[in-house]
Amino acid sequence: MQNFDLIVFDWDGTLMDSAVAIARAIQAACRDLGLAAPDDGAARHVIGLGLVEALQYAVPDLPERDYPRMAERYRQHYLAREREITLFAGVEALLLELAARGHQLAIATGKSRPGLDRALEHSGLRRHFVASRTADCCHSKPHPQMLEELMDELDASPDRTLMIGDTTHDLQMAHNAGVGGLGVSYGAHPPEPLLALRPLACLSSVAALGDWLRENA
């Protein structure tokens, strides 16, 4: 028997190995604007958040009027490396297996809709997902709106929904929506803050994630 009808994945740092590219693009954009670049920890912490929330944390001294300029510089740096970014090994095989077992698969991401569309096209994963939500059409994580809308759309109950992500933002969103949260520590955030939020488990690789899902999902 399945324990979860709906399995929702974060994108960056969970399915795609993009955390380093995002952090480097944030740091480069800061230098372009003559600002002190956040260290790696601060730059990686904001992965998964919406644009405004990410800038407020990573570049707290940036005036709000400069957010569009910062966003444009970030976008240019990220796009320059986007085609080089790959999925974590084993991701597509895991998605195929989950879909074959009857799970509905969805995405809840801090990306914009155009950014997610590019990533789905580049990775070839679009066909595996029945729905998605992005940060430009919903409140930023950890607000529960993304998960609430996905559950409404796909007729899934909170007790039958699982959120998988690599950041504390993902796990906090799962808690706020009343769904199960599963952490992965191979992406943006280290295991200690993930474990502090008491996820169902915290897995260190896609292979370990697959093993957990086969036994528990």
pLDDT of amino acid 67: 92
Q: 30-69 burial, b for 16+ CB within 10 Å, e for fewer?
A: bebeebebbeeebbbbbbbbbbebbbeebbeebeeeeeee
Task: Indicate if the pLDDT at residue 181 is higher than 90.
Answer: yes
Q: Is residue 1 situated within a structural domain?
A: no
> pLDDT-derived band of residue 50, with 50, 70 and 90 as boundaries?
confident
Q: Which of 55, 82, 109 is the last residue of a domain?
A: 82
Residue with structure tokens 């809308």?
149
Residue with structure tokens 């036994």?
215
> pLDDT-derived band of residue 174, with 50, 70 and 90 as boundaries?
very high
pLDDT of amino acid 83: 86
Average pLDDT over residues 113-129: 96
Amino acid symbol at 75: R
Asked whether the beta carbons of 149 and 138 are under 8 A apart, the reply is yes
Number of domains in the chain: 2
Average pLDDT over residues 150-159: 98
Task: Indicate if the pLDDT at residue 61 is higher than 90.
Answer: no
What tokens were used for 192?
A: 């200690």
pLDDT of amino acid 166: 97
> Residue 59: which domain range?
19-82
Kindly state whether residues 11 and 74 are assigned to the same domain.
no
Asked whether the beta carbons of 117 and 134 are under 8 A apart, the reply is no
Kindly state whether residues 106 and 10 are assigned to the same domain.
yes
pLDDT of amino acid 1: 73
Cα dist. 86→13, 20, 51, 66, 91 in Å?
11, 12, 23, 31, 10
Catalytic residue among 5, 12, 166, 170: 12
Kindly state whether residues 96 and 133 are assigned to the same domain.
yes
Kindly state whether residues 116 and 184 are assigned to the same domain.
yes
Instruction: Mark whether 17 is an active-site residue.
Output: no
Average pLDDT over residues 191-215: 98
Q: Which of 82, 109, 126 is the last residue of a domain?
A: 82
| CA–CA separation, 40 and 24 (whole Å) | 8
3-class state of residue 164 by DSSP: strand
Q: Which of 48, 67, 82 is the last residue of a domain?
A: 82
Q: Is residue 185 situated within a structural domain?
A: yes
213, 162, 165: which is closest to 189 by C-alpha?
165
Residue with structure tokens 């952090």?
23
Kindly state whether residues 140 and 46 are assigned to the same domain.
no
Strand partners, 108: 133
Q: Is residue 42 situated within a structural domain?
A: yes
Which CATH number is 176's domain given? 3.40.50.1000
pLDDT of amino acid 116: 96
Average pLDDT over residues 100-112: 96
Kindly state whether residues 140 and 194 are assigned to the same domain.
yes
Kindly state whether residues 109 and 181 are assigned to the same domain.
yes
Instruction: Mark whether 12 is an active-site residue.
Output: yes
Catalytic residue among 5, 10, 166, 170: 10
> pLDDT-derived band of residue 156, with 50, 70 and 90 as boundaries?
very high
